[in-house]
Amino acid sequence: MAEYVETINSARKFATGTIGFDDTYPNIYSMVWCTPDLTPGQCRACLAATIAEMPRVFIPNTRGARITGLRCSVRYEVYPFYNGAIMLQLPGTSAGKKSNETGKILAIVLPSVAALLVSIVACFCCWRRRTKSKNLLAYGSHVEGIDSIESLIIDLPTIRTATDNFHENRKLGEGGFGAVYKGSLPNGQDIAVKRLSQSSRQGIGELKNELVLIANLQHKNLVRLIGVCLQEDEKLLVYECMPNRSLDTFLFDSEKRKELHWGKRFTIINGIARGLQYLHEDSLLKIVHRDLKASNILLDADMNPKISDFGLARLFGGDQSQDTTNRVVGTYGYMAPEYALRGQYSIKSDIYSFGVLMLEILTGRKNSDSYNSDQSVDLPSLIWEHWTMKSVMEMMDPYMSGDSSQDEILRCVHIGLSCVQEDPAYRPTISTINIMLDSNTVPSQPPLKPAFYVEMGGDIVSDMYSRSYPGGVNDSTSKSNAMSPNEMSITDPEPR
């Protein structure tokens, strides 16, 4: 039953069934349910123990009953009490001679029916799960940790029903790897379905990467994966739906930005930092996100931030502190210089991205916008200029005024500038950032000029542009890549 429940609906594991009884009660309707965190074996054990208790706690002469435990429940009635199609229908069974104590008969028959329901459906599910697991592995070589996502499999018909067969009106947006649709599961839970483009080779590797990573991560500031579907050439990831969508839809909208007073912005900054600390330091896995940006920060109904999109993330093991790639992926404008120019990435690369994001939240401006009529001056450079002239408050979003704290804002600007330093060694760790956010402390050293620093006159003064690095990155290439708009994402030409 647990395996069948997880296949049908990973958010709320349940199954329904009916069996013929007698002339008085032609059908008995039953439903069993387990909490989503239980494994198939734990679900079966919980249901078996609950069913065994029914004869002892059953009250005679009643026509229905429910036993609810901490992790599972069983209910039956002589009438349909649930919506939707019946998942399993069994033929009628003889109840023996009629008795005035109908409730006693039901108490004897139902546990047998429920147990049969559990056994039949569990066997059916084992076959389906083995088939679906093979489908998953057919998309590429074996991925370490793939077994951890088997319990998240959802049937394609369930997702098609939830999204009105991927109707255009259900589309929330579209990215480089496919579209995202809003849907609703049978239990009423809203979901967001990420539908990978069928023609995308590169996205398959990223989907598997995202599955393995996020299936093993749990934090209130990370988006929660509900399920996965790989059937009929469809490659789907199912997430909890964030009603307020992504941070960029508020931050860079002239009207919606008015809703982001200082208190909300500080809460968002704090939440992102907490989620990042979990990835870098607190989880069993050490993960570099590599694509932290405003559009990858989702907002729930209370405007709490959740980091999303782990397709480009990388797992670090043991004492590993950095890695190098000859395929730079991510989003220009948020990339740390050592990554954009040399392909080197580490947790300090994420810190750089966090610093850019933090400055965007404080100013309500995109890093890619032009702030000089003659030259394209990036946001960190502009903030640095005003910081040195002690006029940085002039650059802050005016919609933060009123209830804002100037001291808190200045402390956040200081932290943000410290995160975008050219040398990764000068950038603080995320745990240090959280300590500073939670207290009245600031970095011990004043921030230096940011990486990719551009003077107000338009001259690039960062000496990173005058150096050559292994891999053939030269001066002209560096200039072109580093100053590209930060909406432009670059990705691998094929799976890694």
Strand partners, 346: 322
Examine the domain organization and report whether 172 and 113 are in the same domain. no
DSSP 281: I
Going by the annotation, the residues of the binding site for ATP are 194
The model carries a pTM of 0.65
Residue 215 pLDDT > 90, yes or no?
Answer: no
Give me the helix-helix angle, 347-363 and 379-388, nearest 10°. 70
Examine the domain organization and report whether 235 and 288 are in the same domain. no
**Residue at 204 is within a domain:** yes
Examine the domain organization and report whether 410 and 291 are in the same domain. yes
What letter represents residue 82's amino acid?
Answer: Y
Number of domains in the chain: 3
Report the 10 Å Cβ neighbour count for 242: 20
**Measured between alpha carbons, how far is residue 161 from residues 57, 132, 182, 234 in Å?**
39, 20, 11, 15
Which residues does 253 contact at the CB level (< 8 Å), separation at least 6? none
**Residue at 469 is within a domain:** yes
Residue 466 pLDDT > 50, yes or no?
Answer: no
Query: H or E stretch including 57?
Result: helix 40-57
Round the average pLDDT of the chain to a whole number and report it. 75
Q: pLDDT tens digits for 274-296?
A: 999 999 999 888 899 999 999 99
Examine the domain organization and report whether 152 and 72 are in the same domain. no
Examine the domain organization and report whether 125 and 150 are in the same domain. no
Q: Point out the domain boundary residue: 188, 218, 240.
A: 240
Residue 176 pLDDT > 70, yes or no?
Answer: no
> Catalytic: 291?
yes
Q: Point out the domain boundary residue: 120, 137, 154.
A: 137
For residue 482, the model assigns a pLDDT of 34
- Poorest-pLDDT segment among 87-96, 307-316, 390-399: 87-96
Mean pLDDT of the region 228-244: 89
Helix (H, G, I), strand (E, B) or coil at 5: helix
**Residue at 316 is within a domain:** yes
**Sign of the C-alpha dihedral computed for residues 314, 318, 324 and 326 taken in this order:** negative
- Poorest-pLDDT segment among 89-103, 249-263, 337-351: 89-103
**Domain of residue 88, residue span:** 2-137
Percent pLDDT > 70 in the chain is 66
Going by the annotation, the residues of the binding site are 194
Three-point CA angle 303, 306, 308, nearest 5°: 135
d(CA 359, CA 363): 6
**Sign of the C-alpha dihedral computed for residues 105, 109, 111 and 117 taken in this order:** negative
Residue 359 pLDDT > 80, yes or no?
Answer: yes
d(CA 484, CA 487): 9
Q: Point out the domain boundary residue: 240, 267, 293.
A: 240
Q: Residue 362 has which token pair?
A: 């404080």
**Residue at 496 is within a domain:** no
Q: pLDDT tens digits for 185-205?
A: 988 899 999 998 766 555 666
Which CATH number characterizes residue 163's domain? 3.30.200.20
For residue 56, the model assigns a pLDDT of 63
Which is it for strands 178-184 and 344-346: parallel, antiparallel or unpaired? unpaired
**Residue at 397 is within a domain:** yes
Which CATH number characterizes residue 95's domain? 3.30.430
Examine the domain organization and report whether 235 and 260 are in the same domain. no
Examine the domain organization and report whether 370 and 277 are in the same domain. yes
**Residue at 495 is within a domain:** no
Catalytic residue (one of 147, 291, 403, 459): 291
Examine the domain organization and report whether 202 and 306 are in the same domain. no
Examine the domain organization and report whether 213 and 333 are in the same domain. no
Higher pLDDT, 18 or 144: 18
Examine the domain organization and report whether 128 and 161 are in the same domain. no
Which CATH number characterizes residue 465's domain? 1.10.510.10
**Measured between alpha carbons, how far is residue 380 from residues 334, 422, 445 in Å?**
11, 11, 17
**Residue at 52 is within a domain:** yes
Examine the domain organization and report whether 170 and 314 are in the same domain. no
d(CA 163, CA 175): 18
Residue 455 pLDDT > 70, yes or no?
Answer: no
CB 308 within 8 A of CB 254: no
Identify which of 422, 477, 478 has the alpha carbon closest to the alpha carbon of residue 451. Answer: 422
d(CA 208, CA 464): 35
Residue 147 CA to its chain's centroid (Å): 19
Q: Residue 86 has which token pair?
A: 């019946």
Examine the domain organization and report whether 407 and 258 are in the same domain. yes
Identify which of 454, 457, 479 has the alpha carbon closest to the alpha carbon of residue 466. Answer: 479
